[in-house]
Amino acid sequence: MIYDVLIIGSGPAGMTAAIYAKRANLNVMMFEKGAPGGQIVNTFEVENYPGFKKLSGYELATNMFEHVLELGVPVTFEEVKNVIDLGKIKEVHTENGIYQTKTVLIATGVVPRSLGVPNEDKFQANGISWCAICDGPLYKDKKVIVVGGGNSAVEESLFLTNIATHITVVQNLDHLTADPKAVELLKQAKNVDIIYNAEVKEFLGDAQLEGARIQTKEGFKDIQADGVFEYIGLVPITTFVSDLNITNSMGYVEVSDTFETKVPGIFSAGDCNVKKIRQIVTAVSDGAIATQNIIKYLENQHE
């Protein structure tokens, strides 16, 4: 069997693409190596997705996945190991088989780069977050720690200044590396402290997060906090397409405004792409637009 489109990844971008592809009567299948939903599965509460005032990330992911299944989209729970370009036909190689298709949509997303310190896994999505826009409102009138000093850390810290009572920024360098204007605004905030040349060594707490132990030049110091936001980078899940030469030096997929890569017939959508904003709504948008362009690509192949 030769599919019209094979979708790799079942996050918001991949699931939206699957819905649009199936409704367009395309022969589609979706691959997922873990749990459907991508990063939203690890989001405690979602309060900024239109139509849902508040629900857990798991609930939103489940709703999306049930929509996919109700339409009859087949889902294969295997890890994709490689994508081969054979011209008009592409091959998707998994752990257990080889699948042929006319187009491929990469929608594998990213994973946050973690610190790898004690208790980090314990409090993941339950005290430790990687998205202030998503989870910041949970810490209204509470104390939080932001780890990092780049654009994401500083911009999200600025967002949190209007929510949290106090923010402690922990940066491992002697300066913040974000845009100078954003840094200046952060330094002017009255409820923000910045600790330079410091590293988080452990997260504290039993049943719930109580803070973090950091190490500075002066020694160890415990900081009390109700929540922690980590911004030390993201890692795109794209190693399986490294041979196609469609990613930048950081591993993010480069696409045109039609979401097509430099390899005709291979498209990419969502957080694994080179982009400025990574949110559920932008991933959903990417998936919808990419699929419309896949449909046009397939129509042109028949002409």
* Whether the Cβ atoms of residue 205 and residue 231 lie closer than 8 Å to each other: no
pLDDT value of position 86: 97
Rounded to whole angstroms, the Cα distance separating 213 from 280 reads 32
pLDDT digits (tens, 9 = 90+) for 148-207: 999 889 989 999 999 999 999 999 999 999 989 999 999 999 999 999 999 999 999 999
CA torsion sign for 41, 293, 264, 68 is: positive
185-205 CB burial, b ≥16 within 10 A, e <16: bbeeeeebebbeebebebbbb
The tokens describing 148, both together, are: 């990092």
Q: Number of C-alpha atoms within 13 angstroms, CB side, residue 124?
A: 15
pLDDT digits (tens, 9 = 90+) for 73-129: 999 999 999 999 999 999 999 989 999 999 999 999 998 889 999 999 999 988 999
Positions annotated as catalytic residues are: 131, 134-135
The CATH H-level superfamily of 114-230 is FAD/NAD(P)-binding domain (3.50.50.60)
Q: Number of C-alpha atoms within 13 angstroms, CB side, residue 268?
A: 26
The CATH label, of 3.60.150.10, 3.50.50.60, 3.40.50.10420, 3.40.140.10, for the domain at 2-111+234-302 is 3.50.50.60
Rounded to whole angstroms, the Cα distance separating 146 from 167 reads 7
Does position 293 have pLDDT exceeding 90, yes or no?
Answer: yes
Question: Bridge-partner residues for 137, per DSSP?
Answer: none
Domain ranges of the chain: 2-111+234-302, 114-230
Residue 140: partners with Cβ closer than 8 Å, 6 or more residues away = 163, 164
The whole-model pTM stands at 0.75
pLDDT digits (tens, 9 = 90+) for 135-151: 899 999 999 999 999 98
* Whether the Cβ atoms of residue 143 and residue 225 lie closer than 8 Å to each other: yes
Fold: same for 2-111+234-302 and 114-230 = yes
